[in-house]
Amino acid sequence: MKNSLSFLQKAGELKDILRQGVLYYGFKKADSTTDHVFRLALMVWLFGRNRKLNIGKAFKLALVHDLCKVYTGDLTPYEGLLSKNGKNRFKLAWRWRRLSLKEKQKRYKEKFQKERKALEKLTRKLPADIRKDLMDAKLEYHKVESPEAKFVFQLDRIENLLEAFECWEKDKNFPTTHGRDRS
């Protein structure tokens, strides 16, 4: 019981992990990881009804997909692409889009390895069956092969887009809504 409570306490720190994607663009009020996971879970429930999916499994994938951020922070594909002085933030999204598929795959693999190690650290004192269940769910989400993983993966992207749209509603200069470079 003590180890489970420690795990839950540590997982609670996700409320302090801010979403970096919008912060890179100078937006001051980013959602937390728990904001993101909560809305993603609502999306699973709302859009998963009446589908031939295991909704319990989809909820599990949604809940575990960012759990590792307790230790990694909010890793994004943009790591290392932003200039040290923070200038030209608006060009960041366009620079990412121009990376080769090989470079994107390399970055995704590195990100997953960091996340896997963080989740192992977070779950290390949990009972073996629970630890295995969480690790298997993270791997399933990462592979995006099951119908539930594909569904949650796509909803995760939609949730990111929804957050970007909300930022744009507050600041019409938010860069990802325009098809041109801004500097």
Average pLDDT, the chain: 87
Residue 123: Cβ within 10 Å count = 24
Contact (Cβ atoms closer than 8 angstroms) between residue 90 and residue 25? yes
Residue 150: which H helix or E strand, with range?
Answer: helix 147-170
Of 19-23, 46-50, 126-130, which range is least confident? 19-23
| Across 62-91, average pLDDT | 79
Other Cβ atoms closer than 10 A to 154: 13
Residues 6+ apart with CB under 8 A from 168: 174, 176, 177
The more confident residue out of 100 and 13 is 13
Q: What is the pLDDT of residue 28?
A: 79
Considering the domain 2-177 in this protein, what is its CATH number?
A: 1.10.3210.10
pLDDT above 70 as % of the chain: 85
Residue 128 CA to chain centroid, in angstroms?
Answer: 25
Q: What is the mean pLDDT of residues 3-16?
A: 96
pTM recorded for the entire structure: 0.86
- State yes or no: pLDDT of 179 exceeds 70: no
